[in-house]
């Protein structure tokens, strides 16, 4: 009832302020409704599945002050923990002339490229590291002719983090963050950040209290057509003794990321390098609930290409931020305004191999040192992964568009105890897209994707194919209808199916209100966003999405 | 349940009474690190279109290609197109090379923490664009992009510029 009164007061204030004080009052409202009904396959069994989610975001601005809130009904939620009530609320004051920004309540924050602080939300993954607290920032520029720009920021608050793999497991972090940036000359920006957090990390039988200290330094430099960025963060985590960790641990780790980009007319390239060692440890200690691992509000760049193709996105590289070294090289070449080529080469591996030196049933791992651990290795003991992607895009005319790509990935997931059972995988994919506009409003789109997979861990058929054909007709600006047919020659799908058909119709009532309905079978598989990966279960049934803005 | 329904009805009723999307002032860095304020752009222009995009978003790139032509066509008549980049930490390093290689001349600003996107009520779907007039009023909002939508956007821009 208190929450209800809060909402009523919140909105009544707008009307009262508008009527009596003649303030500049504006309001905006977004609503997202999702409903689904069908069956979901869990461990080979088809179970009934129904979800209803309604997310309402409201914002009210009174001059320079913004009030915001989100009312959420997830009963039942599609993936995660059910919820009903006010999930987020905040008040914000910003004044660009003075350079002040203040926010109290719920917010997310990224500093630099996120090595020490990158809290964000992804509802699809049930990932939310939102901070409930306060944030204050101040910008000031000294001088006019050769201005020196400075910015300081402080935030403090609490993060309640539901483990996206085991949603009922909740970690708590009380954090304090101080940040300072200075730009002494136009082309140089230097920043320093410090995060201190007190955390509570539950495991199956215990909860571990931790304290973490994460200093970070970063900088951007632009020289002519070159732009460089580099960032280094060090993390120390101290644990308080308990049954799981009887002796106090002082775990130290670090991460380095840099990028170099060069761009001129028609050509641009970017080279990314990552060296993440936030929690180097033996294979038997790795785990999503390990208290000394990289903390959930840290989220550095993955330095791998994110694919839009359906079949390619089914085979993502799962980045291990605690132990991974690698990089990517990306080239964009546009010889004219009709043609664009993209080349992406990426590689990654673990830093070290671990040998079992125990005898009998006793397992004792010993790290095998490697002098070149700052570069990725193709040695299978280091779980290497590499990818080569090339794409050509052609706007043949106002009516015809074509895109053809080729991707090759090769990976090993090394089994330190039994190397013979290591998973080796090779995936070649050819995604294509063709679009033809018949009249000014009607467009036909065809996507055809072909994928060849070799996976050593398959028991019956190690080589198989995946194919996808998708036909879409759209009438601008309101209507689009898509039918997708996907099939595989693999016989080890969890549902036992070898073909999936899905139909989807989307209708825009106007430019800001749309309804999408889909019916059919969805294959499921690993889905990744920002390096956060989880298995999405196969689904068969009906889905409805209504998106509204007022 | 009754309380929830009543609350939702109240919220929707309020939405019906309220003004549409809000103008949200901001200052963001461009690709060379220069701070750019929206109010200064609006003061110099008759119509401004803000478009939120990311390098991984295929329809965003299609919209941008179409809007580059529209921008060249109407910029002399007071139209300004501003692309606000929402790439996150994993792909932001590719933004400058992509824009320069494509030869785009309109301003591109970095909204890496999506604060401005949130300020204009942006949700998950991209591209997301708003058209603002000289009085700092939102005259149109677009979510997503289909082939052919550029014709509708162009007609809105022409109407806002007073071109017949």
Residue B11 belongs to a domain: no
Is the sign of the CA dihedral A530, A535, A540, A544 positive or negative? Answer: negative
The band of A535, judged by pLDDT with boundaries at 50, 70 and 90, is confident
The answer, for B21 touching chain A at a CB cutoff of 8 Å, is: yes
With bands split at pLDDT 50, 70 and 90, how would you rate the model's confidence at B7? low
Residues of B in contact with A1 (CB under 8 A): 3
Mean pLDDT of the A261-276 span: 92
B6 located within any domain: no
A395 Cβ under 8 Å from any chain B Cβ: yes
Q: Measured between CB atoms, does B9 come within 8 Å of chain A?
A: no
Please report the pLDDT score of residue B18 as a whole number.
Answer: 47
Backbone angles phi, psi at A213, to 5 degrees: -130, 120
CATH of residue B95's domain is 3.40.30.10
Average pLDDT on A237-261 reads 93
Q: Does A485 touch chain B (CB under 8 A)?
A: no
- Domain containing B70 equals 22-161
How far B162 CA lies from chain A's nearest CA (Å)? Answer: 21
Note the pLDDT of residue A2. 54
- Number of domains comprising chain B: 1
Contacting A residues, span 310-349, partner chain B, CB-CB under 8 Å: 330, 332-334, 337, 340
| Cβ pair B89:A301 closer than 8 A | yes
Does B34 reside within a domain?
yes
Predicted confidence at residue B12, as pLDDT, reads 52
Q: Across all residues in chain B, what is the average pLDDT?
A: 85
Whole-angstrom distance, CA of residue B59 vs CA of residue B55: 10
* Reduced 3-state DSSP string for A365-406: EEEECCCCCCCCCCCHHHCCEEEEEEEEEEECCCCEEEEEEE
pLDDT tops 70 at residue B8: no
| A61-92 per-position pLDDT tens digit | 888 899 999 999 999 999 999 999 999 999 99
With cut-offs at 50, 70 and 90, classify the pLDDT of residue A104.
Answer: very high
Residue B117 in any domain: the answer is yes
% of residues, chain A, pLDDT over 70:
96
Residue B8 counted as domain residue: no
Contact A476 B147 (CB under 8 A): yes
Q: Over range A424-439, report the average pLDDT.
A: 95
What value of ipTM does the predicted structure carry? 0.82
Question: Considering CB atoms only, which of A59, A120, A261 is closest to B97?
Answer: A261
What separation in angstroms does the CA of B131 have from each of A128, A225, B109, B154? 31, 32, 16, 11
Phi-psi region at A541: left, alpha or beta (left = phi > 0; alpha = psi -120 to 50): left
Residues A261, A303, B104: CA angle, nearest 5 degrees? 40
> Three-class SS of residue B158?
helix
Per-residue pLDDT band for B5 (boundaries 50, 70, 90) equals: low
Q: Compute the average pLDDT of residues A17-28.
A: 68
Residues 6 or more apart whose Cβ sits within 8 Å of residue A232: A115, A216, A217, A218, A254, A255, A256
Residue A455 confidence (pLDDT) above 80: yes
Nearest CB among A187, A264, A530 relative to B90 is that of: A530
Residues 69-98 of B with CB under 8 A from A: 88-94, 96-98
Per-window interface: A 346-375 vs B, CB < 8 A:
none
Q: A39-48, A233-242, A470-479: lowest mean pLDDT where?
A: A39-48
* Cis status, amide bond into A76, omega within 30 of 0: yes
Quote the pLDDT of residue B87: 85
Contact residues on chain B for A303, CB-CB shorter than 8 A: 90
Q: Where are the beta strands (DSSP E) in A143-291?
A: 148-162, 170-185, 188-202, 207-223, 226-239, 250-264, 267-277
pLDDT at A13: 55
pLDDT digits (tens, 9 = 90+) for A411-421: 999 999 899 99
Spatial distance between the Cα atoms of B164 and B161, rounded to a whole number of angstroms:
9
Residue B7 within any structural domain of the chain: no
- Report the chain A residue with the minimal C-alpha distance to residue B97: A268
In a domain, B39, yes or no: yes
Q: Is residue B16 included in any domain, yes or no?
A: no
pLDDT score for A285: 86
Contacts of A435 in chain B (CB under 8 A): 147
Mean pLDDT, chain A, rounded, equals: 91
Asked if A28 and B18 come within 8 Å (Cβ–Cβ), the reply is: yes
Query: Does B26 contact A at CB distance below 8 Å?
Result: yes
Is A280's pLDDT higher than 50? yes
Mutate to test the interface with B, among A13, A261, A443, A513 (most CBs of B within 10 A): A261
Question: Helix axis angle, A2-16 relative to B2-17, nearest 10°?
Answer: 10
Q: Do A29 and B11 touch (CB under 8 A)?
A: yes
Q: Is residue A492 helix, strand or coil?
A: coil
């Amino acid at each position: 009832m208190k929450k209800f009164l809060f909402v009523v007061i919140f909105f009544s204030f707008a009307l009262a302020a508008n009527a009596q004080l003649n303030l500049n009052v504006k309001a905006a409202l977004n609503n997202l409704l999702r409903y689904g009904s069908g069956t979901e396959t869990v461990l080979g069994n088809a179970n009934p599945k129904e979800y209803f989610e309604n997310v309402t975001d409201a914002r009210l601005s009174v001059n320079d002050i913004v009030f915001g809130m989100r009312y959420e009904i997830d009963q039942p939620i599609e993936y995660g923990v059910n919820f009903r009530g006010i999930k987020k609320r905040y008040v914000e004051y910003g004044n660009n002339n003075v350079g002040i920004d203040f926010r109290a309540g719920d917010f997310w924050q990224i500093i630099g490229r996120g090595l020490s602080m990158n809290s964000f939300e992804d509802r699809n993954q049930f990932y939310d590291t939102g901070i409930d607290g306060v944030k204050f920032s101040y910008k000031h520029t000294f001088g006019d002719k050769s201005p020196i720009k400075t910015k300081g920021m402080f935030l403090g608050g609490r993060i309640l983090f539901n483990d996206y793999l085991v949603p009922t497991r909740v970690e708590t972090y009380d954090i304090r963050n101080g940040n300072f940036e200075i730009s002494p000359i136009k082309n140089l920006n230097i920043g320093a950040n410090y995060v201190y957090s007190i955390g509570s990390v539950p495991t199956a039988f215990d909860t571990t209290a931790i304290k973490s200290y994460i200093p970070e330094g970063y900088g951007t430099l632009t020289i002519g057509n070159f732009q460089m960025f580099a960032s280094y963060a060090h993390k120390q985590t101290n644990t308080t003794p308990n049954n799981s960790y009887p002796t106090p641990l002082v775990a130290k780790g670090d991460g380095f990321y840099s990028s170099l980009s060069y761009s001129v007319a028609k050509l641009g390239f970017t080279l990314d390098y990552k060296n993440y060692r936030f929690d180097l440890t033996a294979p038997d200690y790795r785990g999503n609930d390990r208290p000394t691992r990289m903390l959930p509000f840290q989220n550095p760049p993955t330095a791998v290409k994110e694919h839009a193709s359906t079949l390619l996105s089914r085979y993502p590289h799962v980045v291990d931020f605690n132990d991974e070294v690698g990089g990517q090289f990306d080239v964009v070449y546009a010889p004219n305004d009709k043609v664009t080529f993209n080349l992406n080469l990426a590689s990654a591996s673990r830093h070290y191999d671990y040998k079992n030196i125990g005898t009998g049933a006793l397992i004792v791992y010993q790290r095998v040192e490697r002098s070149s651990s700052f570069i990725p290795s193709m040695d299978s003991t280091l779980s290497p992964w590499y990818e080569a992607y090339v794409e050509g895009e052609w706007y043949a005319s106002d009516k015809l568009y074509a895109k053809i790509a080729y991707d090759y990935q090769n990976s090993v997931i090394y089994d330190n105890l039994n190397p013979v059972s290591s998973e080796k995988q090779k995936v070649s994919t050819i995604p294509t897209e063709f679009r033809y506009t018949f009249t000014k409003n009607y467009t036909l789109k065809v996507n055809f994707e072909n994928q060849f997979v070799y996976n050593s861990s398959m028991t019956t058929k190690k080589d198989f194919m995946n194919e996808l054909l998708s036909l879409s007709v759209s009438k601008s600006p309101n209507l689009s209808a898509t039918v997708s047919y996907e099939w595989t020659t693999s016989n080890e799908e969890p549902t036992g199916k070898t073909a999936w058909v899905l139909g989807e119709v989307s209708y825009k009532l106007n430019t800001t209100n749309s309804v999408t309905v889909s019916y059919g079978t969805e294959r499921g598989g690993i889905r990744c966003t920002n390096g956060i990966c989880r298995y999405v279960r196969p689904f068969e049934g009906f889905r409805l999405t209504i998106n509204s803005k007022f | 349940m009754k309380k929830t329904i009543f609350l939702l009805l109240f919220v929707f009723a309020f939405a019906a009474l309220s003004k549409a999307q809000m103008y949200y002032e901001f200052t963001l860095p461009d690709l060379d690190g220069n701070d750019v304020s929206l109010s200064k752009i609006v003061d110099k222009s008759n119509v401004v279109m803000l478009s939120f995009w990311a390098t991984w978003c295929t329809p965003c790139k299609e919209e941008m290609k179409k809007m580059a032509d529209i921008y060249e066509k109407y910029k002399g008549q007071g139209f300004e197109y501003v692309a606000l980049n929402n790439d996150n930490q994993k792909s932001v390093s590719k933004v400058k090379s992509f824009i320069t290689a494509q030869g785009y001349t309109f301003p591109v600003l970095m909204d890496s923490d999506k604060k401005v996107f949130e300020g204009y009520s942006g949700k998950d779907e991209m591209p997301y664009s708003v058209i603002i007039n000289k009085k700092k009023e939102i005259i149109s909002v677009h979510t997503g992009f289909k082939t052919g939508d550029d014709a509708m956007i162009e007609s809105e821009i022409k109407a806002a510029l007073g071109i017949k």
